Amino acid sequence: MTVDTRTKPADSPVAEPAKKRFSLPGWFGPWEFALLGLVVIVMIAGAVTSPFFATGENFAITAAGAVGLSLMVVPMAWLMIAEEIDLSIASVFGMCGVIFGLSIENGMPLALAIILAVVVGAIAGLINGFLTVDVGLPSLVVTVGTLALFRGIAFILLESRSVSDLPLEFTQFAQGNIPGTLIPNGFIVFLVVAIVAGIVLARGSAGRKTYAVGSSVEVSRFSGIRVKRVKRGLFIFSGSVAGLAGVLYAGYVSSARANNGTGLELSVIAIVLIGGVSMYGGKGSFIGVMLALLLVTTLTSWMTLGYVPTNIQYTVIGLLMIGAVVLPALISKFKNAVLRRRG
């Protein structure tokens, strides 16, 4: 308490601006820069090694196939910035697809079936939110439980059957492109969700509160932010988007099955972590997460074209994720060591 060496730079206002010759903008820091570099490397490597990689068809197929995954990445980024997690997201995805299929099978109009599935997703999110926020359990534990619960409900409802008799106009939409282009319709849905969510996260008061809650629940509470309401809202957001994604996916594969999207939550979380969101909340940019999504999907596409076995693909993504988690920890250790030496 006598002397705090860290406080000194603040007391000499000249020190800081002097070294600011070149700096990246806040929303595009070194992490985003590195991810962009990796994306470029994968793109070039793919284009050089495979004649099929750098084609419009390949990108269209990759994008269409990844719509479900991509949509779920969006709310997961928000949740993890708020220092929460939703491991049940892919189970909600599966369950809502099943609800959608069964509603259609029982003669419900298409629009109503979609809305019902999304509402069920929102309720699933509400349950996660209630158990986490109001009962006060860690979301990691709660959503491990609901991961099994929601998947179980999907199997109880549909068993090992599948509903393939979906309305033609819907499957055509889910599988089709914007007329005259190679851009998949589902990708546009993702783009709309992602752009709105990205802008609000970076610039909106909801986004600011999410960062605040993830940085410090106490300070947020002391600042009059309704922490519980923010977190509950995020879980509901996560459930609804997972519901929508599940419906779109069922249309894309023309089949609602209880096991749709099994295990997808791990890829979603891996992408958010690779995107630079801290496990401890409060840190990370939406741009980074989007770049990580691009990196993982293009890398997967390249490996698939090169006949790399799925197991190896998993290993590569796993290594990337470990790297994304270990690297910041190492950097901060190194920084501290340097500071201490100067100490």
Partner 1 sequence: MTVIPGETPTIATQGELLVSVSGLVKRFGGVTAIKNGSIDLYRGEVHALLGENGAGKSTLVNILAGIVRPDAGTIIVGGEEVTIANPRQSRALGISVVHQHPVLFPDLTVAENIMFADAPPHNRAGLLSWKGVEANALRAMTRLNVHLDTSELVKNLSSAEQQLLEIIKALSDDTALLILDEPTAALSKREVKSLMEVIARLKSEGVAILFVGHRLDEVFALADRVTVSRDGTTIVTGPVADFTPESAVTYMVGRALDSVFPKVDVVPGAVHLEVKGLTREGSYENVHFSVRKGEILGLAGLVGAGRTEIARGIFGLDAIDGGEIIIGGTPVTIHSPADAMRHGVAYVPEDRTREGVILDQSIQFNLSLAVIDTLTRLGLISPTKDRGLSTSFIERLGIRTSGPAQDVSALSGGNQQKVVLAKWLSTDPDILILDDPTKGVDVGAKSEVYRIVSTMAQAGLTIVLISNELEELLAVSDRVITFYRGRQGAEFTERPFDAEKVLASMTREVSDVNAR
The footprint of partner 1 on residues 264-323 (CB under 8 A) is 282-283
Task: Give the integer Cα–Cα distance in Å for 160 and 162.
Answer: 7
User: Residue 341, class by beta-carbon neighbours within 10 Å (0-12 exposed, 13-18 middle, 19+ buried)?
Assistant: exposed
Instruction: Give the shortest CB-332-to-partner 1 separation in angstroms.
Output: 11
Q: Is 106 exposed, middle or buried (0-12, 13-18, 19+ CB in 10 A)?
A: exposed
Q: Which is nearer to partner 1, 59 or 211 (CB)?
A: 211
Dmax (CA) for the chain in angstroms is 75
Closer residue to partner 1 in complex, CB, 179/340: 340
For partner 1, which is the closer residue by CB, 161 or 221? 221
Q: 17 or 263: whose CB is closer to partner 1?
A: 17
Give the per-residue contact string, 162-201, with partner 1 (x = CB under 8 A; - = no). Answer: -------------------------------------xx-
Work out whether 136 is an interface residue with partner 1 (CB under 8 A): no
**Among positions 138, 204, 306, 318, the unique one binding partner 1 when judged by CB under 8 A:** 204
Which amino acid, one-letter code, is at 162? S
Nearer to partner 1, 179 or 343 (CB): 343
Q: What is the CA radius of gyration of the chain?
A: 22
Among residues 4, 160, 179, 181, which is the contact residue for partner 1, using CB under 8 A?
Answer: 4
- Indicate which single residue of 130, 149, 193, 208 sits in contact with partner 1 (rule: CB under 8 A): 208
- Provide the 8-state DSSP code for 343: -
Q: Which is nearer to partner 1, 216 or 254 (CB)?
A: 216
User: Looking at beta carbons only, is 11 or 159 nearer to partner 1?
Assistant: 11
Q: Smallest gap, in angstroms, from Cβ of residue 22 to partner 1?
A: 15
Region label for 253, one of left (φ > 0), alpha (ψ between -120 and 50) or beta (otherwise):
alpha
Instruction: Give yes or no for residue 30 binding partner 1 (CB under 8 A).
Output: no
Is residue 335 part of the contact set for partner 1 (CB under 8 A)? no
Q: Which of 135, 222, 307, 311 binds partner 1 (CB under 8 A)?
A: 222
User: CA 73 to CA 76: how far, in whole Å?
Assistant: 5
Q: Which is nearer to partner 1, 49 or 223 (CB)?
A: 223
Contact 97, 260 (CB under 8 A): yes
Contacts of 145 (CB under 8 A, 6+ apart): none
Single out the residue of 25, 66, 43 nearest to residue 288, CA to CA.
25
DSSP character string of 93-142? HHHHHHHHHHHHHTT--HHHHHHHHHHHHHHHHHHHHIIIIIS---HHHH
Pairing of β 162-163 and β 256-257 = antiparallel
Number of residues that bind partner 1 (CB under 8 A): 41
Which of the stretches 63-71, 85-93, 152-160, 217-225 binds partner 1 when contact is defined by CB under 8 A? 217-225
| Per-residue DSSP letter, 254 | T
What are the distances in angstroms from CA 141 to CA 131, 147, 187? 10, 10, 32
Query: Site for partner 1 (CB under 8 A): which residue of 36, 78, 160, 216?
Result: 216
Reduced to 3 states (helix: H, G, I; strand: E, B; else coil), residue 81 is: helix
Among 47, 226, 310, 334, contact with partner 1 (rule: CB under 8 A): 226
Least separation in angstroms between CB 19 and partner 1: 10
* Binding region for partner 1 (CB under 8 A): 1-11, 13, 15-17, 26, 199-200, 203-206, 208-209, 211-212, 215-216, 218-226, 282-283, 342-343
